[in-house]
Amino acid sequence: MDLPDPALGTPTLDRDAVRRVSLGITFDNTYARLPERFFARLPATPVAAPRLVRVNRPLAELLGIDADALESPGGVAALAGNAVPEGADPIAQAYAGHQFGGFTPQLGDGRAILLGEVVARDGTRRDIQLKGSGPTPFSRRGDGRAAIGPVLREFIISEAMYAMGVPTTRSLAAVRTGERVLRETVLPGAVLTRIAASHIRVGTFQYFAARQDVDALSILADYAIARHDPEAAHAERPYEAFLAGVVARQAALVARWLHLGFVHGVMNTDNTTVSGETIDYGPCAFLEAYDAGAVFSSIDYQGRYAYGNQPGIVQWNLARLAECLLPLFSDRQEDAMERAKAALSGFAPIFTEAYAAGLRAKIGLATARDGDDALVEDLLRRMADGEADFTLTFRRLCDAAADPAADAAVRILFSDPAAYDEWAPRWRARLAEEPVDGVTRRHAMRRVNPLVIPRNHLVEEALAAAARNDDGPFERLLAEVTRPYEERDAGRYAIPAKPAERVTQTFCGT
């Protein structure tokens, strides 16, 4: 396959011409030390008038970064791309990907720059990336910029997901650029500083597989193993152990999404990480009324990435990763295929058990017994038929598990309350089989059933206000969603949208 070389015409990073600032960040940039064909080396494009929206101070502390330094003029300049922190080695990473089932052999960071890597206080390595930082050789005629809405959407939802215990990239900072970007309308520009265990995607492997660059595949796989699966290096078959590790992480991740009613919206292979973190919060959304077929993304015309389709899509994406690794498994195609299938076969049992265990916990069951799956699935079916709010139903079950008088608050969520009335006695009979008192059970259920999620209408409200230069709704929503399980009077943040407020479509923002 004759494919374009992204390195052709790549600007050279003139280290003398780039403004450097000292922020006291200790970088150790291992990815930038890989062969040059893995990335394009260039700095971010400066912006007109950077202004800080927010620094995530707890995350800065975890990373060992001085939040005060980030909030200083030099720090804001670095977060906006107007300066490069000392020790950083900025690059745009190369990758490919299947987008809605169609393969594109060259995608890459079209509006992002990886500044470098730091080792956090907990010993984990983290990427620091600027998103919306200007054009790169991978921009495909795009402007390389981001609007304030998508930046703050990712900030809100990634931090909410982290607070809910979901593996995810995180948001360190958001900066307004003082410039405008043209999408459907003219919008204020912004840059997000994203933190990730790495930005290695299924699509990164696809990039080199499409070029039949087996040497690069081997280098990338060895690097990914060292970074994410060091124990696989000692396995009899390291590359198969690596694939099995990715399969296990992704199976557990998608189960967590379903437990929370999360719909990613654009599960392309370039949005599937080998680290097992959720990445790229574009047209994502959360269920309100339970619906396995729910689609929010404005570009998902066929419902490929509907809520209930997500496990199957993850499996499909993992099969694409397995295809890339075949040359590393064996020189014999038939043998390589059998090894790939063996690794992929781990998905179904891991996902099934994780999904079932999570649902049992959501209805207060600490042990597994025959009939539990049917009991939960019957509740979900009744929720779908009765258009019951997903998050609120499970949260109110926490109180009902401790006191039957609390049933009243659950049953009114169903269009026909009799649907709940018919289910509840069987649920209580099952609860009675476990030696757990009601107060203990309620406490355990509140740890897995959030009170507050980033409800779609509240997210859109915050983004619309930010586009008018009012960050107050963003700040208030962020404060609520980062305390998802805490019992309190959360007011409007804990209740579904009114009919006139419902959000039926979400947008990517690129």
Each residue of 391-416: pLDDT tens digit? 999 999 999 999 999 999 999 999 99
**CB of 390 closer than 8 Å to CB of 376:** no
Which tokens hold the place of 90? 């900025």
Instruction: Give the pLDDT score at 373.
Output: 97
Instruction: Give the pLDDT score at 506.
Output: 84
Which tokens hold the place of 484? 């998802």
Coil, helix or strand at residue 83: coil
Which tokens hold the place of 286? 């959360």
Confidence band, pLDDT 50/70/90 cuts, at residue 233: very high
Instruction: Give the pLDDT score at 183.
Output: 85
The chain-wide mean pLDDT, for the chain, equals 95
* 270 part of the active site: yes
Average pLDDT in the 325-345 region?
97
**pTM of the entire structure?**
0.95
Of 270, 280, 300, 471, which is the active-site residue? 270
Q: Give the rounded distance of the alpha carbon of 339 from its chain centre.
A: 29
Neighbour tally for 87: CB within 10 Å: 17
CA–CA separation, 176 and 188 (whole Å): 7
Q: Which of 148, 162, 170 is nearest to 53 (CA)?
A: 148
The contacts of residue 102 (CB under 8 Å, 6+ apart) are none
